[in-house]
Amino acid sequence: MSVIEFEDVDFTYLTQADGPAVENFSLTVEQGEFVGIAGPSDAGKTTVCRLIHSYIPNFFDGELSGQVTVDGNEITDTEIGEMAETVGLLFENPFDQLTGASTTVFEEVAFGLENAGVPRTTLIDRVYDTLETVGIGHLAGRNPNQLSGGQSQRLALAAVLALEPDILVLDEPTSQLDPEGTEEILDLIAAAEEEYTVVLVSQDIERIAPHLDRLVVLEDGQVRHDDDPKQVLTIDGIERLVSVPDVVRIGRRLSVDPPAVPLTIDAAVETLEGRIENSGTATTTVGTDGATGIDPPTSDGAAGTDNTNSSTELELSSVTYRYDENITALDELSLALKQGCICVIGQNGAGKSTFAKHLNGLLEPTAGSVRVRGTDTTERTVAELARTVGLNFQNPDNQLFHDTVAAELAYGPRNLGYEEDRTEQLIETTIDQMGLEPVRDANPYDIGLARRKQVAVASVVAMDTPVIVLDEPTAGQDPRGIDLLGDLVDELVASGVLVIVVTHDMTFVRDHADRAIALGQGRRLLDGPPTAVFGDHETLAETDVAPPAVTRIANDLGIPETVLTVDELFEYVD
């Protein structure tokens, strides 16, 4: 039985001058199905979610034609509050979903239940049960404003699940989560498939594909492909629209028929068994410490450095940071950060964003010190430090405030007192680097979240600082957006900029990092080139971070080297 039906739907936002968000859009979702929706940024994915929940036309203004029916109700005849009894919608940006009025995680989840008139005893049990289900029961008494991005995403999901809707519409539900957290949430949703009909929007094809009944790929507001994930991911040229997982690339390279293409690591291992030569002759192409100029760890785990060396841009000495007496985000962390691209990885709540905010003085250590080019951050204002360290926030909406993209990019260099000619040149260069010319004159809040993240990154890059810190820049980005960011980072590093990237994207780490630092409970657990970090499976497991899929496949097959790419893996394939 169909529970969601789109029939020839067109919708154009009132603020959107470049055409409809969806056009001639038709799609049917059956009861109990788990349907994934993917595609490039601005393909219409979020608009589809808003239509299902009737936020369009009840909240977002625009021109709507065609028909959308959800559980037998036309959205034009159904208010948002009424639809909420059937549909639970998780927003693309979890920070937009939290009320901001709750003082504890428990209260945040209880908010919707109170409005729905759920009896108190039932409410209490359901809140605690739901928090345990999404893995944050231990945070029930925590202030929501003290959560990491991933913890906030789990909280937003808990608030939706607690209302027990029949249909779940989840827009990028795992974009802020660490790899282990992503698997946990997807397993949770898949296990509850009999209870829910699920429509899930995600760019993380590698992790969602094994769970899906169907994968729908959108482009330019229309359905381009709709089929079993194995069929869709083996279509010629599909890489243009979605990120094809390494496991699928392996199957295609082996000329495996689509129905037998592996979607999981176990399936890929099974496909390759018997075809591996453990000769140990393959070599990796990742640079060594000597090639990158990154100092190897010393015996105590601190990056080897002479404290008087002027090439050290940032130095943390025994830094501890506590949000209160019960929450220690950083625990005697010592690091010297010199040059190249340094990726900081670790589970949600490991202290990564707290670490980033120490680098430009937004936070001051509870104990220990942070030095920027030899100067203690407590001796400088944030404005002074901004001349050296540019910080891009995890949530772009905390960073953008101008009415055009061009004005957003101009603010930083002008505020730093740059000459107008230099400012204009920086704006033009950064717009070109990030592909922002089509939205130069747009209001940042009239473009999608992925684009806003790009604008936020560009606004920091335009400041032309010697150190740039990017917090989760690839989250929710399509393949083109990730390539743009990767090319930007490579270009900045080549010009001598120290780029620090906080990320859950292990493919980005593999492709662009000179050095990877794994944090766990505010401490450094691993520090070195990606080959070394991804090769230490036992320690890496403590961080809830998994190396790239191809690395895990090679390890399961008994290959002696740390393999980072499909090409390296096939050096061992007979």
Residue 54 belongs to domain with CATH number: 3.40.50.300
In the block, which residue shows the tokens 């994915």? 45
| 203 plus 338 within the same structural domain | no
Confidence at 193, pLDDT banded by 50, 70, 90: low
pLDDT in tens, 385-418: 999 999 999 889 999 999 999 999 999 999 999 9
What pLDDT is attached to residue 289? 33
For residue 292, being part of any structural domain is answered with no
108 in any annotated domain: yes
pLDDT digits (tens, 9 = 90+) for 47-104: 999 999 999 999 999 999 999 999 999 999 999 999 999 999 999 888 888 888 899 9
- Residue 295 counted as domain residue: no
Q: What is the per-residue pLDDT across 241-288, written as a single tens digit (0 to 9) for each?
A: 999 999 999 999 999 999 999 999 999 999 999 888 764 443 333 333
232 and 349 in a single domain? The answer is: no
Q: Is the pLDDT of residue 294 over 50?
A: no
The least confident of 218-227, 292-301, 312-321, 469-478 is: 292-301
Residues 490-505 have a mean pLDDT of 96
Point out the domain boundary residue: 215, 240, 265: 240
**What letter represents residue 456's amino acid?**
A
The stretch 207-234 carries a mean pLDDT of: 96
Segment 474-499 shows an average pLDDT of: 95
- Residues 322, 226 share a domain: no
324 and 206 in one domain?
A: no
pLDDT in tens, 472-485: 999 889 999 999 99
Q: Which of the four pLDDT bands, split at 50, 70 and 90, describes residue 311?
A: low
- What pLDDT, on a 0 to 100 scale, did the predictor assign at position 184? 85
466-487 per-residue burial string, b: 16 or more CB within 10 A, e: under 16: bbbbbbbbbbbbbbebbebbbe
**295 falls in which pLDDT band (50, 70, 90)?**
very low
Residues 63 and 163 in one domain: yes
Strands ordered across the beta sheet of 214-219: 87-90, 167-171, 197-201, 34-38, 214-219, 222-227
Domain ends where: 191, 210, 240?
A: 240
- Same domain, yes or no: 533 and 427: yes
Q: How far apart are CA 161 and CA 164, in angstroms?
A: 5
Model pLDDT, residue 324: 83
What's the mean pLDDT when you consider all of the chain?
A: 90
d(CA 144, CA 397): 17
Task: Kindly state whether residue 412 falls inside one of the protein's structural domains.
Answer: yes
Residue 413 pLDDT: 96
Res 139 pLDDT > 50: yes
d(CA 554, CA 255): 19
Measured CA to CA, the distance from residue 261 to residue 268 in angstroms comes to: 8
Tokens 């082996």 locate to 254
352 and 232 belong to one structural domain? no
pLDDT at 305 over 80: no
- The answer, yes or no, to whether residue 23 has pLDDT greater than 80, is yes
Task: Give the least confident one: 142-151, 246-255, 437-446, 467-476.
Answer: 142-151
Average pLDDT over residues 283-296: 35
Scan for tokens 């001796």, then name that residue: 379
User: Which of 188, 206, 240 represents a domain boundary (last residue)?
Assistant: 240
CA 232 – CA 295 distance, rounded (Å): 44
For residue 180, what are its two tokens? 């282990």
The arithmetic mean of pLDDT across residues 138-165, rounded, is 92
Does 327 score more than 90 pLDDT?
no
If asked whether residues 204 and 320 sit together in one domain, one would say: no
| One domain, residues 316 and 212 | no
Other beta carbons within 10 angstroms of residue 33's beta carbon come to: 18
When pLDDT is cut at 50, 70 and 90, the band that residue 109 belongs to is very high
pLDDT tens per residue across span 345-358: 998 889 999 999 99
Predicted pLDDT at 65: 97
- Does 112 have pLDDT greater than 70? yes
pLDDT at residue 167, as a whole number: 95
Q: Check if the beta carbon of residue 263 is closer than 8 Å to that of residue 248.
A: yes
Closest CA to 38 of 298, 184, 223, 297: 223
pLDDT of residue 329: 94
Q: What CA–CA distance (Å, rounded) separates 501 from 497?
A: 12
The kind and range of the H/E element at 422 are helix 420-434
Single pTM value for the model:
0.86
Are residues 226 and 352 part of one domain?
A: no
User: Is there a single domain that holds both residue 426 and residue 543?
Assistant: yes
Q: Residue 86's domain spans which residues?
A: 2-240
Q: How many domains does the chain have?
A: 2
Domain assignment present for residue 275? The answer is: no
The answer to the question of residue 569 being in a domain is: no
In a domain, 101, yes or no: yes
Mean pLDDT within 368-385: 95
What pLDDT does residue 326 have? 81
Q: Is the omega angle on the peptide bond into residue 258 within 30 degrees of 0, that is, cis?
A: no
User: What gap in Å lies between CA 504 and CA 231, rounded to an integer?
Assistant: 28
Res 376: pLDDT: 96
Compute the C-alpha angle 190/220/182, nearest 5°: 25
Q: What is the mean pLDDT of residues 207-216?
A: 95
CA–CA dist 470, 138 (Å, integer): 29
Output 277 or 552, whichever has higher pLDDT: 552
Report the percentage of the chain scoring pLDDT > 90.
Answer: 79
CA distance between the termini of the chain: 48
Q: What is the dihedral of CA 351, 355, 357, 363, to 10 degrees?
A: 90
Residue at 429 is within a domain: yes
| Cβ atoms within 10 Å, residue 505 | 23
pLDDT at residue 310, as a whole number:
44
> What amino acid is encoded at 466 in this protein?
P
Cβ 520 vs Cβ 490: under 8 Å: no
Q: Collect all residues with Cβ–Cβ distance below 8 Å to 562 and sequence separation of at least 6.
A: 284, 531, 532, 534, 535, 551, 554
Q: Of 524, 502, 523, give the one whose Cα is nearest residue 513.
A: 502
Contact 377, 413 (CB under 8 A): no
Residue 467 reports pLDDT greater than 90: yes
For the beta carbon of residue 266, count every other beta carbon within 10 angstroms: 14
Q: What is the mean pLDDT of residues 496-513?
A: 96
